[in-house]
Amino acid sequence: MKQGKCPKCGSTNVYVAADLPLKSGPFGSNSIPVSLTAMAALDNYVCADCGLVESYIADEYMLKKIAGKWKPVNTAADDD
Ligand SMILES: [Zn+2]
């Protein structure tokens, strides 16, 4: 989706507002909790044909924080 193609319908009619002021939304609604005290704002990619929304965290500091605090989905012992 970041490359401008919708993974759902194949459209290239994809839009992003990464530099939107106040992009974290009213009361942080367009953000996710990272820890007790930290929220990460989301960049949303929207397909104007089918309406699919994909969200990304752009803040590298928050990505590092998540990698340090959250549980990894893939662990060495798991096979799926
Ligand atoms: Zn689409």
Q: CB within 5 A of ion ligand 1: which residues?
A: 6, 8-9, 11, 47, 49-50, 52
Quick one: pLDDT at residue 12? 98
* Dist. CA 17 → ligand 1 center (Å): 17
- Separation of 1 CA from ligand 1 center, angstroms? 9
β pairing state of 31-33 and 14-16: unpaired
Where does the pLDDT of residue 5 fall: very low under 50, low under 70, confident under 90, or very high at 90 and above?
Answer: very high
Tens of pLDDT, residue by residue over 7-21, are: 999 999 999 987 787
What residue segments make up the domains of the chain, in order of their start?
1-20+31-71
pLDDT recorded at residue 79 = 59
The closest of 61, 52, 55, 2 to 25, measured between CA atoms, is 55
Distance 78 CA to ligand 1 centre (A): 33
pLDDT for 62? 96
Q: What is the pLDDT of residues 37-78, one digit of tens each?
A: 999 999 999 999 999 999 999 899 999 999 999 999 998 665
